[in-house]
Structures are given as C-alpha cells and as structure tokens.
Structure 1
Amino acid sequence: MAETWNLLRRMGQKKIDQYKESFQRSGRERVDKDLPLGIRMSGIVEIPQVDFILGGDQLKIKHPGDANVVISYGHFPVGDSVVHRFYLDASGMVYVLQIVTDRTNTVEECKLFMPYDEVIPDDWEFWLGERDGYIGYEIFDIKDGTRYFRVWDSDRKTVVEQDDQGNQITRIPPMEYMETVYLSPWGEESETVKYDSMLYGRQVNENLDEYLLLSAVSEKDGASVQIMVGIELQPASIKVI
C-alpha cells in the first residue's frame, strides 16, 4: 500500500488524550450522538472473525484485530439514506466501517473496508474520462490479476468495447459525493472530502463475497485514486464497547 493516504494517516496520529483535551476546550455537544450501533469516537469496535476464516487466504482484506478504537467519523447523504463511516485504528492501519441507514435510522447495509492500494495519476482522463474512464468500467483488475465486477448500476451506460466473444463492455459514471469527516468528537476539527466512486465485487467462494471500492479522492493535501477492499458484516455480530 502506498504511503500517501494523507487523511487516513492524520487520523491515525490522533490520540485519545487529544480528544479529551478537545472536550475541555470546546464544551460543545458531541457530533457522534445517537449513531448506528451506538458507536462513538474513542469507543472500541470488535469485528467478528468468522467470515475472515471462511475466506481464508483468498481474501484480500485481512481481519483488523480484536479491539479497534474509533478515531474519526464521517457521513454523507445518498438519496433518502445516510452513509456513516467510522474510521478504526487497527494496529496502525485505518480501516473504515461503513454503515448505511434509511430515513428511520434502520441499518440497510454494513461493510468493513481496508486500504489496499493507491495511485497518484499523471493522467486523470484515464480514470475519470466521460466515455471510457476506468472508474465505472464494468470490470476492474488489481495488480495480481484478481478480477472484480461492477456492483452498482445505472441507466447511463456507454459501451466502451467488445470482448473476444463479442460481449459489450460498458461504463457508467462514478457516484459523486462529499463526505464531512470529523477529526474531533466535538466537531471543531473537520474536513470535507470529495469522492468519485464505483463499487465492485467478486465471489471468493460459495460462502463469501469480497468488495472493492475504487475512488478518485480529493482532500486538502491533494488527490489520488484509492482502492479499498471490503467485506459485508452482520450488524448484530459487531461488538461495541
């Protein structure tokens, strides 16, 4: 994995003592009240191991460990739903627990993502070109040749090429969103991050699927293409302390 995940690195440098000092300075109401599963910044999240055991060495995402501190929280709307992102300090690497809730705050989706790779493009058109940009392409291959297939769909398809069997390979526009990321539980430290993303997936075995989130990410320290690999979790299996 590249070393330039600037925002994630800054998150990892945050300490619980800094959160305490922030509270003493601000006196504000916490921004992480009443969030899914009762997760709060500086709390502990334990991720179950069963799916990682089922996936074995075929999984690109690795188990984050037994006790992971929530070091940051972000959110953004998608239609009538809200995407909540909890950034977990997993032995020096920052994982993302992503929980989607509907308008009644019922959990619709729960996935865990791990940073896998990053590219600093010389040619942004290759990734975001309106007709054939790679983000939104029907298939995505990582460096070792493992292939993932586009999960999200749209009526706005363009035909990019045909394979050897004459099947059309299409592209759809990536999903654009702006995430507000809080670096403090009381909201005085925050950043806005822009994404152009597409979700891909593959069947690892008959019991398990793995996901790949491919995103062009723009934040205050620069821009890059970031690849995260993920797995779906049952919300009830996650232990929150």
Structure 2
Amino acid sequence: MASSPIGTAAGMIRDKITGAPQREAGRRYRVGMTVTLDPTPFLLAGDALRVPAPREATTSVTEVGRIGGDGPGGMVRLYTSGGGFVQVALGTGAEAEEARYFAPIDEVTPASEDEWGAWLDPREGMIGFREFQTKDGKNHTRVWQPGPEMVPPRVLEETIESASGTRTVTHRSMLYATPTHLGAGAPEAEFVLVEMTEEGSNASVTIHAGIALSPASLSIV
C-alpha cells in the first residue's frame, strides 16, 4: 500500500526527532565496498615513515568496525584487504570529519602478569605514559590528553562486521605522534596507535603507525 503524504511527512518528522536518518547514513560503510587512497602523501614521505604504504591504491573492505555509534563522535574502521585500516571520525550525516590510515608495525602477546603490567600498569604502563618509544628509538608524544602526568588508556568497544558475522572486541588504546619535518604536501606527523585488544579469552598488544588523510581525498564506494 502506498504511503500517504501525511504519513510520509509524519515519518520524516519522526526520523528527525529519533535520528533514524543518522543511523541509516552510518550504514553507508559496509563490507565489500572499495577504498581508494591518494598515494601522494606516501610518495612525498618516501622512507621517512614507518607506516607501510598500501600495496594498491584501491582495496576492498573486508571488515567494518564501529566505535561509539553511527552519529557525530562515532568512529568507523574500514579494514582493507591490504592489511591496514582507514579510521573515519563521523560528523553530521555520518560524513567523514577526520580520517587516518593505520597499519600494524608490531604485535606483542605478553606471557606473564609482569609483562602485562609493563603495558597497563596505572602508574607507569606504556599505554598511557606521556611518551611512547618505538623499536627504532624514536619517541612519540601523547596526543590524547598531552601532559607530563600518566593518563589511563581509552577503553573502546568495537563491533566488527565481516562476511562471516559480527563480533565485539575491547581495546585499551592510546594515540601518540611525532612531527615528520617533511616538505609541503607530505604528512606533518606520523601517529602511533598502541592498543591492547581483548577478544574472548585472547588478548594482545598491537602497535600501528599511521598518517592523517584529507577526508576529501578519500574515495569510498
């Protein structure tokens, strides 16, 4: 049965109040879509970055992770077949307000309580300390709540959709960065995202390197 004009108008008002269009807009990010990244920042940076450039500019999305909902303040992670992920900070209408590309550069599975403490100790754990040093000896300053004091990791609940279903993981995360001092057009900073991830009875620490992307340069279809 066709909707009446009054019914259609009522639905529009209801959606505006409840935020239904916002939820639908967030679903524009889906498994199987393709992401094309502008290669220019990687080419201009050359070997100055630890984050590995994607093997191909256009890759398919194998998993979609959602953190904090589909509205403003939420984040979407588009995991690609190349091994990295594009993290999109959502604004009004699920438009990308901010985008970063991350790829893993190291992974650790602590084997004892002491080893876990080195990462998560509330007084001096590496995830939350004012600086983070990568294996090459380079220091990175904390981006989230910069300052000399210790800061607890951010707890991020991520719902991940894939072709095989949906699962939920919990991250304890901190973001760091260091300036690149490269020329115009190259990334101004390289980020390091340090995350302890729990999924069921499994837990590990992953270190990702990343750069900021211009949302306008992203092609997501």
Could you say whether these structures have the same fold, taking a TM-score greater than 0.5 normalized by the shorter chain as the test? Answer: yes
1:72 alignment counterpart: 63
Alignment of 1:151-230 (within 5 A): 151-153=143-145, 169-184=148-163, 189-206=165-182, 207=184, 208-220=188-200, 222-230=202-210
**Secondary structure class of the residue paired with 1:127:** helix
Q: CA deviation at 1:80?
A: 5.2
State the alpha-carbon separation in 1 of the partners of residues 92 and 219 from structure 2.
Answer: 24
Do structure 1's residue 132 and structure 2's residue 118 form an aligned pair?
no
Q: CA deviation at 1:56?
A: 1.3
State the alpha-carbon separation in 2 of the partners of residues 49 and 100 from structure 1.
Answer: 21
**Secondary structure class of the residue paired with 2:180:** strand
From the superposition, tell whether residues 103 and 39 of structure 1 become closer, same or farther in structure 2 (CA, over 3 Å).
closer
The structure that has the greater radius of gyration is 2
Alignment of 1:226-237 (within 5 A): 226-237=206-217
State the alpha-carbon separation in 2 of the partners of residues 176 and 39 from structure 1.
Answer: 23
Alignment of 1:15-164 (within 5 A): 34-35=25-26, 38-64=28-54, 65-77=56-68, 81-90=73-82, 94-121=83-110, 122=112, 123-153=115-145
State the alpha-carbon separation in 2 of the partners of residues 52 and 181 from structure 1.
Answer: 28
Structure 1 unaligned spans of 5+: 1-31, 158-168
Taking only aligned residues, the RMSD between alpha carbons, in angstroms, comes to 2.2
Q: CA deviation at 1:40?
A: 3.0
Letter in 2 for 1:89: S
State the alpha-carbon separation in 2 of the partners of residues 51 and 44 from structure 1.
Answer: 20
> How many residue pairs get matched?
190
State the alpha-carbon separation in 1 of the partners of residues 217 and 95 from structure 2.
Answer: 16
Letter in 1 for 2:172: D
Structure 2 unaligned spans of 5+: 1-22
- 8 Å Cα contact 2:31-2:161 kept in structure 1: no
Q: CA deviation at 1:240?
A: 2.8
- 8 Å Cα contact 1:113-1:228 kept in structure 2: yes
State the alpha-carbon separation in 1 of the partners of residues 201 and 43 from structure 2.
Answer: 37
State the alpha-carbon separation in 2 of the partners of residues 240 and 107 from structure 1.
Answer: 11
Q: CA deviation at 1:221?
A: 5.8
State the alpha-carbon separation in 1 of the partners of residues 75 and 151 from structure 2.
Answer: 21
The runs of at least 4 consecutive aligned structure 1 residues that moved more than 2 Å come to: 32-36, 102-108
Q: CA deviation at 1:115?
A: 0.9
- Identity, % of aligned positions: 31
State the alpha-carbon separation in 2 of the partners of residues 174 and 108 from structure 1.
Answer: 23
Q: CA deviation at 1:197?
A: 0.3
- Compare 144-153 and 94-103 and name the one that shifted more: 94-103
